[in-house]
Amino acid sequence: MSDVVIVTGASTGIGAATARLLGSQGASVVVNYNSSIEAAEGVVAEVKALGGKAIAVKANMGSQADIVRMFAETDAAFGPVTGLVNNAATNTTHRKIETYDFDEVMGVLAVNTAGLLICCREAVKRMSTKNGGKGGAIVNVSSIGALTGSPGRFIHYAGSKGAVDSMTLGIANEVARCGIRVNAIRPGMVDTPIHAKTGQADRMADAALATPLGRAGRPEEVAESIAWLLSDKASLVTGAILNVMGAQR
């Protein structure tokens, strides 16, 4: 495998698990992070130990300038990307509709929606066979919230992920004849650090027991789906949104 893959938000959780799995398959992985260089460098070391190549790149996915720089650093280190995993996302603590703040909502949308679209833009520029690229694959990480709306908790986050689903379908159709496949996954309850960051650490165990499988998913399980969608084994799959949630609804 000679793929060059950017994984956004790759210092922990699903992103880190995906970076490790791709590294074990021989990929050159850009481990994007925004705050914890220690965690990102740890993932880089793990990728290398598994046989891949890796660098850590600090970039805020809510900043167009940072995104453009991240792709430029990738070009310099490994050459043009062949894969992109849009995993980075941000959220807030629980909100009721009466308490939403405009700036806070825009902060979520900047990272989860606008930043993802700009990442896709930069990847398509490099991957498109019509631009002299070699083709490639993009996987966007959505959420079960896109289906449920997350009432009483994260309507703004759910809305940002609903937009991810729509953009995945649109981009996939637009670039299908440019040698680029674009898909998304919708994880359900997955045991990652984001729950603690949004004040849900204590409720996650009880909520997981209520799922059909009776447990939360593991980041490594989600990573397997992402790696498959990036691979040539999924060559006929584009414009798909795969539920990775153990029948959770």
Q: What is the DSSP string of 76-141?
A: HHH-S-SEEEE------S---GGG--HHHHHHHHIIIIIIHHHHHHHHHHHH-GGGT---EEEEEE
| 3-state secondary structure at position 70 | helix
Q: What is the mean pLDDT of the chain?
A: 93
Indicate whether 201 pLDDT > 80.
no
Q: What confidence tens digit (pLDDT) does each residue in 228-237 have?
A: 999 999 999 9
Q: Which residues are catalytic?
A: 157
Please report the pLDDT score of residue 48 as a whole number.
Answer: 98
Are residues 88 and 107 in contact, defined by beta-carbon separation less than 8 angstroms? no
Domains, the chain, ordered by start: 4-244 (3.40.50.720)
Hey, CA dihedral for 93, 187, 146, 127, is it positive or negative?
positive
List Cβ neighbours of 232 (8 Å cut-off, separation of 6 or more): none
Indicate whether 2 pLDDT > 90.
no
Q: What confidence tens digit (pLDDT) does each residue in 78-130 have?
A: 999 999 999 999 999 888 999 999 999 999 999 999 999 999 999 999 999 99
Indicate whether 203 pLDDT > 70.
no
Q: Between these two residues, 96 and 205, which has the higher pLDDT value?
A: 96
Indicate whether 1 pLDDT > 50.
no
Average the pLDDT over 3-13 and give the result: 97
